[in-house]
A and B are shown apart, each in its own frame.
Chain A
Amino acid sequence: MSKKSKIVNGIQYLILTVLSVISVFPFFWMIIAATNRSVDVTKGTLLPGTYLLENLKHLMESDLNYTAAFKNSLIIAVITTVLAMIVSSAAGYAFVVYRSKARERVFNLILLSMMVPFAALMVPLFRLFSKFNSIPGLKLIGLNTMGSVVIIAVATAFLIFFFRQNTKTFPRELIEAARIDGLGELGIFIRIFMPTMKSTYAAAVTVTFMTSWNNYLWPLIALQSEDKRTLPLIISAMGSSYTPDYGMMMAAVVIATLPTALLFFLMQKQFVAGMTGSVKG
């Protein structure tokens, strides 16, 4: 290697190291802060403290209902993910397996919904969902219910697109063989397609779960009563207090970040596939 390219190489390592440190530092800091008293956090300590359990105790005992919020977030994220996997994948699957001109048109219409900003839907959705509260059959998804947060994330253009792209790699012979064996169309989808496409589902699960877990604006609008609030709402409320207890706050942030961080480290490959799935192929 020439002297010049050695220098270039060295600069590259330096830049990447600095950027990596900047990227990771807030994680490091929030974990350190979660183990320290608020006063020590403001003093700028970077050493792990012994205050973690105390911070967790304060968090559980505070009137923020942290455990309830964790439970709400988890229930919403799990139900959303399960329903989204069934509903959106069925559509993506059908657009490929039962391809027709009319269905292509419908798919293009669905794609168009990606362009619609949520900002434009805030007003009408709030009014629409408040009407649901007085309709007997739709109370379950009215304002202030978990259902209202779930139902809106079950069918998304992104997921349908993702499943449609991946269904293209699904071997048609399997469908023909199953039909000859006398399996119905729904049976083929559930018993042949779903098990074969495990890695596609894994990728979609990671992204859907994370999106639901982190969702803020719609829950902020839809979930007005305290006992219904999800983690992002509680953390946001903590952050806007005038005398924040940094130790407790960061303990709350660390716990809220754990599920998605774990999901990322355990399923890095699927995670990346799920995120970039919309540009490939």
Chain B
Amino acid sequence: MNRKKMHNGLNLKAWLFILPSLILIVAFVFYPMIQAFITSFQTGMANNLEFGGIANYKRLLTDSTFKKALFNTLLFLIVQVPVMILLALAISSMLNNKRLKLRGMFRTAIFLPAVTSLVAYSIVFKSLFATDGFVNGFLMNLHLISEPINWLTSTAFARILIIMAITWRWTGYNMIFYLSGLQSIDDSIYEAAAIDGATGFQKFRYMTVPLLKPIILFTTINSTIGTLQLFDEPMNITQGGPANTTITISQYIYNLLFKYQPNFGYAAAVSFVVVVLIVVLSFIQKKVGDKE
């Protein structure tokens, strides 16, 4: 009896440790999430909302700006994430070689972009790639181009610029995950493979990649979620331009809320597309990852 009472007291105290976090997460993640779902079925401007059925979702199908935003976001995802993951894997397997001199220096240098704020580096990239900016001057001095490239105002180059910028910022970040994963792999298996005559590429393809699979899966899902929410870079480098060719879904939601007449219902419907994409893509990636 006495023991049971004490246990109950302890149980209550345990909940008190958790309660503040639980309240905050419910209030600022789950409750708004449900609200967004309800709002996505409402139409009207600002706070004058009324039930509109699936009108917002129907509108998505004919909204050309939404289609552009979706296309751009998926384009960034499909092109940038694989390039970055492969690059990060290649770098980390090179840096994992204990005989490599200066590896600490290389590691720090390549990781450094990950400590910058997204806004700060976006502004630096915007300046470097301005028409009269450093990169154009550099390329012209090398005679690789004869006239400046309009990085910020031509469709193809603006997209390439965003992809280059994100890759610069996040490759080192992913590399750190792989390096810490590689540290837990015994060196002797690499040495054994070397004795058996495995080439560097074979070791990479048949040993490093399979051994790091859980971490690769984690970083891929992480990068997918991040890219689907891409906002800071296009907002600050290209402002979504030229003519919405680099606008992302998050940016479009922001515009629907603050740039045009606020349309909460429609913005919520757009945001649910991101939710569905994240759930579906994470699920697929997990399935593919588990199967192989």
Chain A residues within 8 Å of B, Cβ to Cβ: 8, 12, 15-17, 19-20, 22-24, 26-27, 29-30, 33, 41-44, 87-88, 90-91, 93-95, 97-98, 100, 103, 106, 110, 113, 115-128, 151-152, 154-155, 157, 160, 185-186, 189, 210, 213-214, 216-217, 220-221, 231-232, 235-236, 238-240, 244, 246, 249-250, 253, 256-257, 260-261, 263-264, 268, 271-272, 275-276, 278-280
Contact = CB atoms under 8 A, between A and B. Distances in A.
Interface in B20-64: 20-22, 24-25, 28-33, 35-36, 39, 47
Interface of B: 10-11, 13-15, 17-18, 20-22, 24-25, 28-33, 35-36, 39, 47, 91, 94-95, 97, 100, 105-106, 108-128, 130, 132-134, 137-138, 168, 172-173, 176-177, 180-181, 200, 214-215, 218, 225, 228-229, 231-232, 235-236, 239, 249-250, 253-254, 257-258, 264, 267-268, 271-272, 274-275, 278-279, 282
Given A126-B257, A260-B116, A121 B33 contact: yes
A216 B120 CA distance: 10
9 contacts: A90-B20, A121-B28, A121-B32, A121-B271, A123-B257, A124-B36, A185-B13, A221-B257, A276-B176
Contacts of B32: 120-121, 124-125, 128
B112 A24 contact: yes
Given A124-B39, A232-B120, A98 B10 contact: yes
Contacts of B232: 216-217
Contacts of A12: 94, 97, 100
B275 A246 contact: no
B24 A26 contact: no
A160 B20 CA distance: 12
A23 B112 CA distance: 7
B176 A253 contact: no
A256 B121 CA distance: 11
